[in-house]
Amino acid sequence: MKILGIFASPRRGGNTELLLDEWLKGAEQEGASVERLYLSDFTITPCKECHGCDNTGSCVILDEMGKIYPKLLEANIVVLASPIFFYGVTAWAKALIDRSQAFWARKYLLKDPSLGREGKKRKGFFISVGATKGKKVFEGSILTIKYFFDVLNAEYVGDLLVKGVESKGDILKHPEVLQQAFDAGRKLVQNP
Ligand SMILES: Cc1cc2nc3c(=O)[nH]c(=O)nc-3n(C[C@H](O)[C@H](O)[C@H](O)COP(=O)(O)O)c2cc1C
Dump pLDDT digits (tens) for 25-56. Answer: 999 999 999 999 999 999 999 999 999 999 99
How sure is the predictor about 86, in pLDDT bands with cuts at 50, 70 and 90? very high
**Predicted confidence (pLDDT) at residue 81 exceeds the cutoff of 90:** yes
For the stretch 151-173, pLDDT in tens is 999 999 999 999 999 999 999 99
d(CA 10, CA 172): 18
Which residue's alpha carbon is nearest to atom 21 within ligand 1?
Answer: 166
* Cβ-proximal residues to 150 (8 Å cutoff; 6+ apart), any chain: none
Cα(10) to ligand 1 centroid in Å equals 11
Residue 4 has pLDDT above 90, yes or no: yes
Tell me the average pLDDT across 77-84.
98
Cα 130 to ligand 1 centre (Å)? 5
Q: Give the residue-averaged pLDDT of 81-99.
A: 98
Cβ pair 82, 90 in contact under 8 A: yes
Residue 174 near residue 162, CB atoms below 8 Å: yes
Average pLDDT of the chain, as a whole number: 97
Distance CA 167, CA 155 (A): 32
CA distance 96 to 68: 9
Q: How far is the CA of 162 from the centre of ligand 1 (A)?
A: 11
Residue 46 neighbours by CB distance under 10 Å? 12
Res 84 pLDDT > 90: yes
Pocket test for ligand 1, best of 9, 18, 166 (most atoms within 8 A of CB): 166
Q: Mean pLDDT over residues 140-153, rounded?
A: 98
Please give the distance, rounded to the nearest whole angstrom, from the Cα atom of residue 97 to the centre of ligand 1. 19
Three-state secondary structure of 4-73:
EEEECCCCCCCHHHHHHHHHHHHHHHCCCEEEEEEHHHCCCCCCCCCCCCCCCCCCCCCCCHHHHHHHHH
Share of the chain above pLDDT 90, in %: 98
Measure Cα distances from 175 to 76, 137, 161 in Å. 28, 22, 15
Instruction: Work out the average pLDDT over 16-21.
Output: 98
Reported as a single tens digit per residue, the pLDDT across 94-106 is 999 999 999 999 9
Give residue ranges with CB within 6 A of ligand 1: 9, 11, 14-17, 83-87, 129-132, 137, 165-166, 168
**CATH numbers and ranges of domains, the chain:** 2-190 (3.40.50.360)
For the cut 90, the answer to whether the pLDDT of residue 14 exceeds it is yes
Taking residues 142-153, what's their average pLDDT? Answer: 98
36 φ, ψ (degrees, to nearest 5): -105, 125
CA 7 vs CA 40, 46, 138: distances in Å: 8, 17, 17
- The answer to whether residue 107 scores a pLDDT higher than 90 is yes
Q: For residue 188, what pLDDT is reported?
A: 97
Q: Is the pLDDT of residue 192 over 90?
A: no
